[in-house]
Chains A and B, each alone.
Chain A
Amino acid sequence: MKLIYVALLCSLFVGSVQAQKGQSINKEIQALKRQVIALNRDLFILEEDLLFPTNTQIAVYVSMDIGHFFELDGIELMVDGVNVTHYLYTQKQVLSLKKGGIQRLYLGNVSQGKHEITAILRGVGPNKRDYKIGTTGNFNKDKKALSIELKISDSLNKEQPVFELVKR
């Protein structure tokens, strides 16, 4: 009886599965991934040409240097007094900015000529206090694409965060 049970119980377990030709499929998937990236690139370039041609294009980037005195929560961006975006940040995104990543906060179109850009930043400032500050800049749009960088940095002397809008 014991032997019957032993044989019986041993057979209950499913055997191992056969080996596969996974390697060649992996190579093909890699080739597909390469193509996805190349096609995404072409599509992005086409999209930019169609929707944001250089003679009207405006892009606002956000960068952060150190960031000890300011923990970013969100940014409200206005172009000529019109609210164009209101962005709330995740912890991961803030960390990416602190590590050296730059975010494209806004990509849009404006006419050629003078424009006013205002950014209202919200977050936690020195001494863990809620912080809300605005910064404004005037920029001239010409035939070239206009790139503006909103720089968040630390003033070590004042122990305060510093915000500035710079044309790039």
Chain B
Amino acid sequence: MTFNGLTFYHGLVRKALLITLLPFIGVASALADDIKDNQHVVTDLGYGLVLFHYFQGDHQAALTQLAIIESKREVKHLGVSPELVKGGMSLSYGLYDEANDIFDRVSASESSLAVKSDAWFGSGKLQYLEGNWQAAEQDFERVDFAVSNEHKDDLYYFKAQLALKNNDVDAYHTFKSKISNGNELHGYLEHNFLLTKISTNTLSIDDLLVPQPQDSSQLNALADRSYLAMGYAFIALGSQDAAMSAFKKIALDSYLIEPALLGYGWALNNRGQYGQAKSLFARLAQGKDLNSYVQESILASAYASQLLGDLQSSLNTLASGIVKFDQQKTHLLVMQQQLSKGSDCYNAVVLQQSRLICDKGASGFNDLALIAMLSDSQFATSREQLQQVNELDVQFQRQLAKLKTYENMLADKQQTTQSRLGDIDLAQLKSKVDDFTAHRNKLSERIKAAKQDHMSTFFLPQTQLQHHNKISATVAKLEKLQNNGQKVNDLAQRLDLLRRSFLWQSDYNYAVNVNNTQQALNRLDTDLTALISMYQRFIKHVDQVANIDQEIAKIGELRQKITLQRQRSRRISARIEQDFKAKISEYFVQRHHVLDQNINAAKLAMIQMQDAAFKQSQQTLLPIQTSSEIGESQ
């Protein structure tokens, strides 16, 4: 066996284990998904809104809604502990510190074992996701005493995973058997178990009978990785037939089909079927992208030709390989330039948005090694972090845009209100309204007093009062004349008639004038009320302007806070990008190094073959092309 694919399949084992964890970040974190119907008796509309977002997996909206309620009042809720739900939400959203605090608090303070158990379970999941295996095990041990049906499968999944990490196969089987039949968690565990076997060299032919996943694309991809790793492991174990069976199980449309075919070729080669191996290598060597597998296929094809005794073909393949490797070096330089920080292509590759942008200039972005590198745990973590920071930055931008809209709206409102106020001097208006009100009150008091005292002088005209005085004076004169013995009966009768007529007239006038005065006072009151209401409206507008100023000030504060956070997010993203840049450079340096090695090795192989051929030709006198001649013909 000439092929040492161990490095490769160990890489696959590591990546597959990490990939296996990925679906469980979702499964594990979604505490709410475990909460079944009718467990929530929601009495608080706001809290119901929180749950509505939470059950849909929109943890950020749920946490925001919860923060809004908490800032205004206490959450009114019956049923499952809202604290625990908040812990689950925080865990799902990636606020591990908050989640940890909540789970600790709930498990320490709750008296109900069921709630405590849920808190321990949440804490265990958190520890598991953070890679603290021992702490996770301790938490899961506590849950075991009171495991609820909702958490049962997940709990035993995690326990089985931890058992695998401890290489405790018996415990793994025990925990796995406790998971409900038909749960897709079995699929993940089976493949993880397989990978553990590969890494511990305990793989057997029976392991090929692992059931194929049904409808899960994630599990299918995982199975392809496992079969590939198994294939190479069987090659390392010398079981070529088993290796070929494993490679055959890989889906034809899988992105791993190239390494699978390569492995199949090596298995054929190792079985001595050099012709078939050569044709497979040669087919792979025609691959458009000169990735690691295509490069290896070129060399393997030459090797198979050599084994078949076709030295000329081997030399031709190596020579053409050298040319291709040289071209690839140039091509890598182009790729590297394209992948410079900040370019669209760089973002596309890093964020795995679309490779189409990169494909314009360099088709090598389908390169499996680059994909593998991007999926590597450390790299994947950075990529995920960068994605998160970018998403947060987008949110900050949206918040700023919203603030701008509100600010414009308020500015319009302020302008309208100010235009309503015009140039009115509010203080002057206020003093006039006050004077007017005081006058009115004084007048009203006087009228009231006059009415009470029947003050005719207040309500009757001056002429009428003069007539009244004249009549009174005449009556007094007549009385004097009568007292002196003069006959004034006629005059007295006429005067009495006149006096009575006058009294009637003055009573009438008094009543009319009192009524008119009251009406005038009422009209005055109406005008005054209108004036006061108008004044109050002005005051309201003034208040509005003041409020708008306050709101605008609030917006300013918020904008400042958001801007500060944006600056922070940019600093973080710059740090991550710096790491990316370094890693990408390192990747290209390695690729160049490997290409140089390939070129040197191919040249060396050619010289060795030419030497061997020369020695042979010395004996048989057969002519053979030199390496320089082959180079020229290429």
Contacts and interface: CB of A to CB of B under 8 A. Distances in A.
Interface residues of A, number: 63
A39 B575 CA distance: 24
Nearest to B583: A17
Pick the most buried of A4, A10, A13, A104: most chain B CB atoms within 10 A of its CB: A13
Given A30-B94, A101-B54, A36 B60 contact: yes
Contacts of B591: 14
Q: Which bracket fits the contact residues of B?
A: 35 or more
In terms of DSSP, what is the predominant structure of the interface of chain B? helix
A98 interface: yes
A34 B64 CA distance: 10
B63 A37 contact: yes
Interface in A4-45: 4-20, 22, 25-45
Interface in B19-49: 32, 35-42, 45, 47-49
B410 A50 contact: yes
Interface stretch (B246-254, B291-299, B510-518): B291-299
B303 interface: yes
B4 interface: yes
In terms of DSSP, what is the predominant structure of the interface of chain A? helix
A29 B72 CA distance: 27
B7 A10 contact: yes
B402 interface: yes
Nearest to B33: A99
B376 interface: yes
A40 B378 contact: no
Contacts of B373: 14, 17
A39 B299 contact: no
Given A13-B292, A95-B55, A96-B55, A33 B93 contact: yes
Ranked nearest first, the 9 interchain pairs of A and B with the lowest CB-CB distance are A102-B48, A100-B40, A101-B52, A96-B55, A41-B67, A101-B51, A8-B601, A40-B64, A35-B565
Contact of A37 (B2, B60, B296, B551): B60
Contact of A11 (B300, B555, B597): B597
Contact of A100 (B42, B372, B551): B42
Interface of A: 1-2, 4-20, 22, 25-47, 49-50, 61, 63, 66, 92-93, 95-104, 147, 149, 168
Contacts of B3: 5-6, 9
A20 B45 contact: no
Given A14-B369, A20-B382, A39-B565, A9 B296 contact: yes
Contact of B605 (A1, A11, A19, A28): A1
Contacts of B372: 14
A100 B381 contact: no
Interface in B381-413: 381-382, 385, 388-389, 392, 395-396, 399, 402-403, 406, 409-410
B590 interface: yes
